[in-house]
Structure 1
Amino acid sequence: MFEANIRKRLSATMLVAALSVLLTGCFVTPGKFDSTLVLNKDESFSFTYTGEIFFLGLSQMALMGNGGEAEFSAGGCYDEETYEERECTAEELAKQRAEWEADAEDRKAEQLKKTKEMAAMLGGIDPTDPEAGRQLATKLERQLGWNKVEYLGDGVFNVDFAISGMLSHDISFPVIENLPVPTPFVQVVLRKGSQVRVNAPAFAASDTGNPMATGMLGMMAGLGGALTEKDDESAEEAINGIPVLEGTFSIVTDGQILANNTDEGPSESAEGQTLIWQVSPMTKAAPTALIKLGS
C-alpha cells in the first residue's frame, strides 16, 4: 500500500513536469498521415499532407493542468517507527485541509499564469475554452493551402493541406500564423547549383530535433503503466490519446537524386523517380534527401 501510494504521487509529479515543459513549447506533432512532395526539373513543386496533426496545448492534458480547482484529497499518514501507512487522525486530516485551503490563492494564480502562457503560444486562443479547437481550425482554414481542417477533439485535427508553386525560397510545413512550431514536419531548403535538401524531422520518433520534447514524451509513455489508480484515469486517458506516429512520406522527382536515406532507394515511375519512407514509432532516422534540379 505504501509503495503504491508513493508511485501514484511520483507519477502525478512527473506528469505535471512533462506538461509544463511541453506546453511552453506548444508541441505540435503528426499522427496518422500521408504526405507527398513533387520536385520538378523546372523548379516547380507541389506538396500535400493529409491526416492528423496533434496540438498538445489543446489536449486533455492542457485541460487537466488548467481546469477548475481540484477537490481536497487527503495525503497518507504513516507510523513514525515502522513507516507503514495508517489511518489519519481527525486532527491530522484537519491540518491537511487547512494547509490545502491556505494554498488556494497560490494554486489559482499559478493556473491563471499557465493558461495565459498557453493562450499566448496559441495566438491568443485560450486552450481551456471548449471552443478553442474549432477556433484554431477556423484560423488555419484562412491560410493558403489548408483546404480542410476538422477538429476531432483532444488536440487532434484531421487536415487536408495542398500547395504548389515555384521554388523561389525555402519551404517549411506547417507554418501557423502567430504560433511557433518547434519541429517542422517537412523542410525544403534551396542550395546553390539548383540543389534542394529535403528534411522531415518530425517524421521520426527519436529524431524530432527537440531532445527535451522527445525525452518528455518517453517519460509520459512510461507513465501509462504507472497511472492505474481510479483517481488517475483522466491522466491515463490523456496519455493514451496522443496519436500514434504512422504514415508514408514520398518524394517524386524527375531531377537527379544525389543522396537519400530510404531503405530501398528510388523506384522508377511515370513522373520520374520516387522515394518512399514508411514512418512509424520505430523510425529512428528522419527522412532526408538531396536532389539536383535544372537542366
Structure 2
Amino acid sequence: MTNIWPKMVAALAMPLLLVSCVFTPGKFTSALTIHVDRSFTFSYTGEVNAVDVEGLMGKAMLEGVKASAEAGKTKGKGKTAAEPPFPLTLSPEEKAERDRRFMRIASELSKETGYRKVEYRGDGVFFIDFEISGTLDHGFAYPYSPDNKITFPWISIELRGKDMVRFKVPGFSNQDPTGMGMPTSGPMAQSMSMMMGTDAKPMDGVFTFVTDAEIISQNNEDGAIGDGKVKTISWKIDDNTDTAPMASLRVRPKP
C-alpha cells in the first residue's frame, strides 16, 4: 500500500505556512465590556498553551519522508507502512529550539499594545496579562499578531450594519475557528501539545460580558443579570464547553 502520510502532511501544511504557533487558553479570567457609545475594553489574564505548529509541521514532514522510504522497502513483502509516523515527540535539542522560539515570541508580544505582562514559563505554557480599550469603529480580534505568525484569534467583534455589533468567542469552546481542523482549545488541542512534548493545561476559566447597550440576542442559558441599564452575562468555560459565547447588540450609529 502506498504511504499516504507525506501527502497528508503536505496538504495540512499548506494553509499553516504563515503560522508559527497556535495559542490555546489554559486557566484564566477574561472580560469584555461594550458600551452603547461603542467604547469597549477586552482583557485576558492567565495561562496560555502554545501549540508549536512550525515544529509540528517540520517534524511531521521529516517523519513522513522516513515512513515513505520504509514503505518502499517493505513493498511486496506483505507489510504496510500506512500507519502515521506518530508520536512526533521532540528530542531534547528540538525542545530547546522550541523554547528559544517561544521566549522570542514572549519578548516580542510584550512590546505590543495591551500586553501588560508576557512570561514564558516553559513546557509550552505562557502567562499573559492583556487589556486593551478603544472604540468600535472597526472590527477587533484577539490574539492576533502577524509579526509572530499568530493568526487564529479566540474572539472576534464584528460591526454589522449601521448600529449592530456582534461578538463571538470560539477560542473559549471546542469549536474550530480556523475551518481547517486546527482546534484552539479542548482535548484535541491538548493532544497536539502533548504530542509536541508540552505540558498543556486544561481550559478552565470565566468569561464575563458587561454592557449598557441593548442586547438583541445571546446564547447563555442564564441570560443577563443586572439592575438599571448595565447588564452582565458570565460564561463558565472548560474543556467540555461546546458552544462559543456570543451576543449581538444595538449600539449608537456611527457618525
TM-score by length of structure 1 reads: 0.61
Partner of 1:122: none
Q: Which consecutive unaligned segments of at least 5 residues does structure 2 have?
A: 62-69, 71-77, 79-89
Structure 1 residue 220: deviation in Å?
A: 7.9
What are the within-5 Å matches in structure 2 for residues 93-172 of structure 1?
128=97, 130-172=99-141
Structure 1 residue 164: deviation in Å?
A: 0.7
Partner of 1:281: 239
Among 181, 187, 203, the alignment partner of 2:156 is: 187
The runs of at least 4 aligned residues of structure 1 exceeding 2 Å deviation read: 20-28, 58-66, 129-134, 179-183, 206-211, 217-223, 235-240
Is contact 2:123-2:198 (8 Å) kept?
A: no
Partner of 2:36: 41
Partner of 2:86: none
Structure 1 residue 180: deviation in Å?
A: 3.5
The residue identity in structure 2 corresponding to 1:49 is Y
Is contact 1:63-1:128 (8 Å) kept?
A: no
Aligned: 1:255 with 2:250: no
CA deviation profile, 1:4-24 (whole Å, cap 9, x unmatched): xxxxxxxxx8xx96xx75975
Change beyond 3 A, Cα 1:150–1:219? closer
TM-score by length of structure 2 reads: 0.69
Query: How many equivalent residue pairs?
Result: 220
Backbone CA RMSD of aligned residues: 4.1
Is contact 2:187-2:239 (8 Å) kept?
A: no
Change beyond 3 A, Cα 1:142–1:203? same
Q: Which consecutive unaligned segments of at least 5 residues does structure 1 have?
A: 1-12, 67-74, 76-82, 84-110, 116-125, 224-234
Q: For residues 258 and 144 of structure 1, what CA distance do their matches in structure 2 show?
A: 31
Structure 1 residue 65: deviation in Å?
A: 6.9
Structure 1 residue 61: deviation in Å?
A: 6.4
Partner of 2:199: 241
Q: For residues 198 and 266 of structure 1, what CA distance do their matches in structure 2 show?
A: 15
Q: For residues 187 and 39 of structure 2, what CA distance do their matches in structure 1 show?
A: 39
- Structure with more helix by fraction: 1
Q: Which has the larger radius of gyration?
A: 1
Structure 1 residue 211: deviation in Å?
A: 4.5
Q: For residues 130 and 241 of structure 2, what CA distance do their matches in structure 1 show?
A: 23
Q: For residues 36 and 248 of structure 1, what CA distance do their matches in structure 2 show?
A: 8
Is contact 1:39-1:255 (8 Å) kept?
A: yes
Partner of 2:52: 57
Q: For residues 199 and 245 of structure 1, what CA distance do their matches in structure 2 show?
A: 17
Please identify, of 185-194 and 282-291, the stretch whose mean Cα deviation from structure 2 is larger.
Answer: 185-194
SS at match of 1:205: coil
Is contact 2:117-2:130 (8 Å) kept?
A: yes
The residue identity in structure 1 corresponding to 2:24 is T
SS at match of 1:163: strand
Change beyond 3 A, Cα 1:41–1:260? same
CA deviation profile, 1:4-51 (whole Å, cap 9, x unmatched): xxxxxxxxx8xx96xx75975442222221111101112111111111
Identity of aligned residues (%): 28
The residue identity in structure 2 corresponding to 1:274 is T
